[in-house]
């Protein structure tokens, strides 16, 4: 995780410069799967973190009350691996009365895309956020409409032919 250092006007590691900053971001520059690296130079990006997330991370770091560099270390204090994250993700789902073995962290991408789409964020912006080179994969694979009812026709007809009470 990085923070924007107002003094140097550069993004620098939180480990290096601390938490007393206004803007934070995550580097999404690599993703290794069984078949190898999945990030292309074009899909590498840095994503600003919402204030709610930054506040939660700051609170967690403060509650740890120690000199650990990592906010989410393993039980032994080392850096998390993909295996650790998948295992812990399944535990959280199981404790929420969901079936952890049926879910994977990558499915959060589908939720992210669908929520943004349902709140009228342009598909081009969503596609860029998730690192797709165009909107096709974003629309056909990731976006699941939360409200799959097509509204435009009814909305247009209500505007064209208003009910007397609406006029």
- Joined together, the tokens standing for residue 158 give 């209500």
Q: Residues 43-88: pLDDT tens digits?
A: 778 889 999 999 999 999 889 877 777 888 888 888 888 889 899 9
What pTM was estimated for this model as a whole? 0.68
User: Please, how many CA atoms are within 13 Å of residue 45, restricted to the half-sphere of its CB?
Assistant: 12
How many Å is the maximal CA-CA distance in the chain? 69
pLDDT of 146 higher than 70: no
pLDDT of 40 higher than 80: no
Place of tokens 């799967």: 33
pLDDT of 2 higher than 80: yes
Q: Residues 106-133: pLDDT tens digits?
A: 888 888 998 998 888 999 999 999 888 8
């Amino acid at each position: 995780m990085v923070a924007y250092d107002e003094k140097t006007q550069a993004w620098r590691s939180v480990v290096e410069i601390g938490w007393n900053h206004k803007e934070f971001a995550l580097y999404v520059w690599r993703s290794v799967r069984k078949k190898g690296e999945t990030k292309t130079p074009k899909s590498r990006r840095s994503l600003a973190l919402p204030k709610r997330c930054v506040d939660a991370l700051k609170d967690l770091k403060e509650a740890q009350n120690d000199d650990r560099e990592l906010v989410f270390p393993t039980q032994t204090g080392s850096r998390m691996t993909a295996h650790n994250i998948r295992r812990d993700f399944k535990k959280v789902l199981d404790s929420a009365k969901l079936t952890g073995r049926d879910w994977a962290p990558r499915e959060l991408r589908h939720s992210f895309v669908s929520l943004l789409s349902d709140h009228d964020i342009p598909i081009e912006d969503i596609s860029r956020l998730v690192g797709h080179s165009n909107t096709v994969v974003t629309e056909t694979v990731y976006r699941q409409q939360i409200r799959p009812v097509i509204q435009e026709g009814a909305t247009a007809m209500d505007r064209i032919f208003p009910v007397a009470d609406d006029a």
